[in-house]
Amino acid sequence: MGAKDDRRAVGSPAQDAVGRRLYTPGDLGDIAKVTPQTQFFNVVGVVKEVQMIDPRADLTPVGAYYFAYEQSALRGLTFTVRTRGPSATIQNDVRRVVARIDPQLPVFRVQPMQAWIDTALSGRRVPMLIAAAFGVVALLLSAVGIYGVLAFGVIERRRELGVRMALGGTTMAVFRLVLGDGIRIVVTGLAIGLVGSIVVGQVLTNQLFNVAPMNPLVLALVTVVLSTVALIATAIPALRASRINPNVVLSK
């Protein structure tokens, strides 16, 4: 029997587990619980930690352990094959090899490993796709919202901006003024969004597979995309403000 190193059964991880004892927990809610019915086994080998059923890291606190077939006979066996060819060809080769050993052994559910992973993650992929779709909609709404707020502000400040330009203000100065107001809104929103992403990332940790909840590259990419969209939405009202004709504005 090979087994994952269990600290409760074999002591410190720095010690050699071979020759020590391991038991199968009867209660996954309290894996340290030992009863008179608990079975102990001698460890004869140690293997790397694996996730056999689900790619989630939090599936079980016990880990994987193995028994010789004579100790725990099963009606079915699952085995993996490392391949380098098309999956359809490999499936036929697997069935042909098994048939040479025993023509009566059925071989079913032969799939590439990626197909098994996709199946295991299907329940999480759909919510993530929905969340991504809502994220795109939120991005568009935020861009429209920023544009609308700044455009309305320019309309409300037309006389003020006209006075500035009549007193010698340049078009570039007016452009920078309106753009600066928009940038302050964008920076404030990004700061609040980054804090919110940290909190939400911790909540969604168990929904992620091979993705860190705080991936710096992803955060940087999202920040750049949001900043670009927001700056474009900010620059348009600022450009319109810089083209105000003070004679027309002040004459009304």
Q: For 26-46, what is each residue's pLDDT tens digit?
A: 776 777 788 887 888 888 888
pLDDT for the residue 108: 81
Residue 7 pLDDT grade (very low, low, confident, very high; cuts 50, 70, 90)? very low
Measured CA to CA, the distance from residue 170 to residue 35 in angstroms comes to 85
Measured CA to CA, the distance from residue 235 to residue 146 in angstroms comes to 10
Query: Exposed e or buried b for every residue in 145-180, given b needs 16+ CB within 10 A?
Result: ebbebbbeebeebbeebbebbeeebeeeebbebbbe
pLDDT for the residue 140: 83
pLDDT at 61 over 50: yes
Query: What pTM does this model have?
Result: 0.50
| Per-chain mean pLDDT for the chain | 76
Is residue 225 within 8 A of residue 135, CB to CB? The reply is no
Taking residues 89-111, report their average pLDDT. 83
